Structure 1
């Protein structure tokens, strides 16, 4: 039994290390820029995000693509993901604080997850933002998701502004503030 779990555990460990490394590098880059007197570096893409429509846990259909009333954070995650577990309270906090000024669509990569686990995760963390179900995995493929969590910051014109992974809470809040102001 233990030998069968070893590859899964190694893959999970590698994904966790990659997510932590990427978050650390983004944080270091932003801190270095701020220490030099500049704003945190922001990689601006200015390309439209791929359009999709997914059903939420609430039964509603959610559409992404094109101009929107508010900027958007699209967060891809899974209930079994350690960094997603770490990130959930920060997403909740930032949404509770700024939810009227931006939308947050939390896309569960359901093809890689169990619906009961998704519901339990959402209830445990008291997540009030829409939880979308990518049951076929096509949206994750369209967005080229290699590791979860991965988030996309989208401006009001529907353009990708930045791709982020787990960030410290203060850095996440700064990114959301910049998205709202942009």
Structure 2
């Protein structure tokens, strides 16, 4: 029994070692994309807007951009929408873009009614299969990415924002541009 016990232990050890090597190799050599973080280039995507136009960060290259992932079902999202609209109106002439990425809500008419109710004029893009949400690593709503004019993520805010916070973040983007 002693000889078999030793071989079983060695087999288990070799199996664990193989799994560890596979995990390390996968993280070092794998091409799986990770969500953009502060200092990273903004991750590219294109989604249909409420108007049916295909848009994404590249559509606004060279402009400071705020990418806000939100849903009509999310109380903090509802609360910050009027502030985002006011900041869009205030800073649009300075080149600032706000993109609202709706998180897979159906029917789309709900999103259209929401935008109309709050007078949203910034682009709202639809992420029906949540691929962009997943690509950006969004797990809590709202989540907002502040991107400078050179296309680099300068700040990521998880959770609701006050108007003062949004304005300060936009001003920082303008200073970096």
**Range of TM-score over shorter length:** 0.7 to 0.9
User: Between Structure 1 and Structure 2, whose CA radius of gyration is higher?
Assistant: 2
Partners of 1:114 and 1:147 lie apart in 2 by 21
Listed as ranges, the gaps of 5+ residues in structure 1 are 1-43
Q: Residue 102 of structure 1 is aligned with which of 90, 93, 96? A: 96
Does the CA contact (< 8 Å) of 2:76 and 2:160 recur in 1? Answer: yes
Does the CA contact (< 8 Å) of 2:40 and 2:153 recur in 1? Answer: yes
1:178 corresponds to which residue?
A: 172
1:58 corresponds to which residue?
A: 51
Partners of 1:74 and 1:88 lie apart in 2 by 13
1:126 corresponds to which residue?
A: 119
Whether 1:145 aligns to 2:138 is yes
User: Kindly tell me: are residues 86 and 67 of structure 1, through their superposed partners in 2, closer, same or farther at Cα, counting changes over 3 Å?
Assistant: closer
TM-score (norm. length: structure 2) = 0.73
Compute the displacement of 1:148 (Å). 1.0
Provide the aligned length of Structure 1 versus Structure 2.
138
Whether 1:84 aligns to 2:64 is no
Partners of 2:170 and 2:57 lie apart in 1 by 18
Residues 9-48 of structure 1: matches in 2 within 5 Å?
45-48=38-41
Whether 1:155 aligns to 2:145 is no
Structure 1, 162-171 or 151-160: larger mean CA deviation: 162-171
CA displacement 1:33-73 (0-9 Å, x = unmatched) = xxxxxxxxxxx822112110111001111132598221100
Listed as ranges, the gaps of 5+ residues in structure 2 are 1-36
CA displacement 1:66-105 (0-9 Å, x = unmatched) = 9822110000001111111101110011111011221111
Partners of 2:61 and 2:55 lie apart in 1 by 12
CA displacement 1:128-165 (0-9 Å, x = unmatched) = 00000001110000001101111000111211110013
TM-score (norm. length: structure 1) = 0.71
The root-mean-square deviation of aligned C-alpha atoms, in Å, is: 1.8
Does the CA contact (< 8 Å) of 2:44 and 2:58 recur in 1? Answer: yes
